[in-house]
Amino acid sequence: MEEINTNKIGNLSVQRRDFLKKTGSLAVMSMFGVGFFTSCASDDDTNPSGNNPNQPTPSEGITVNSDSVVIDLTKVSNLNNAGGWILITSARMLVVNTGNGFSSLTSVCTHSNCDRNWALNNDQFICSCHGSRFTTAGAVVQGPATRPLASFSNSRSGDILTINRG
């Protein structure tokens, strides 16, 4: 007896894919509830660099050493205005322009050690892993985290910001 191969290939139309995306999202939201998906509000800044979300930190203008992080503020424009911030994944560090200077914090959440899922909203860093909130100085505003984020001293000389890691 001869076996008949019935493999088929093809592509969904754009309209069909959009329909499936929308109805699939609706089904998942109705199953889990909208609150499950709203740990980050729509006004949260979850992409601090403004670049590709898969590369959330600028690399040009940032030098990471074992004892310091040096940032050239002429190349890292996110930090030029109050409220501007960056996540430096290679240093596991958050840096924010507070308007009165710069705050440098560990990006390792004290609740569950998440280090790449951050947003800034209303002058609070939000770890989107479990919703812990911290001030720009690192103090806990809302748990489940109970310990503050470690902070690092920094100094500015002209357009160069140096953060001491040690």
Q: Does any domain span residue 110? A: yes
Domain that holds residue 109: 62-164
Residue 34 half-sphere exposure, CB side, CA atoms within 13 Å?
2
**Residue 10: inside a domain:** no
How many domains does the structure of the chain reveal? Answer: 1
pLDDT digits (tens, 9 = 90+) for 146-159: 889 999 999 999 99
Predicted TM-score of the model (pTM): 0.64
Q: Locate the DSSP E strands across the chain.
A: 62-64, 68-72, 85-88, 93-97, 102-106, 118-121, 124-127, 133-135, 140-142, 151-152, 154-157, 160-164
**pLDDT 10s digits, 5-30:** 444 445 555 665 566 566 666 665 56
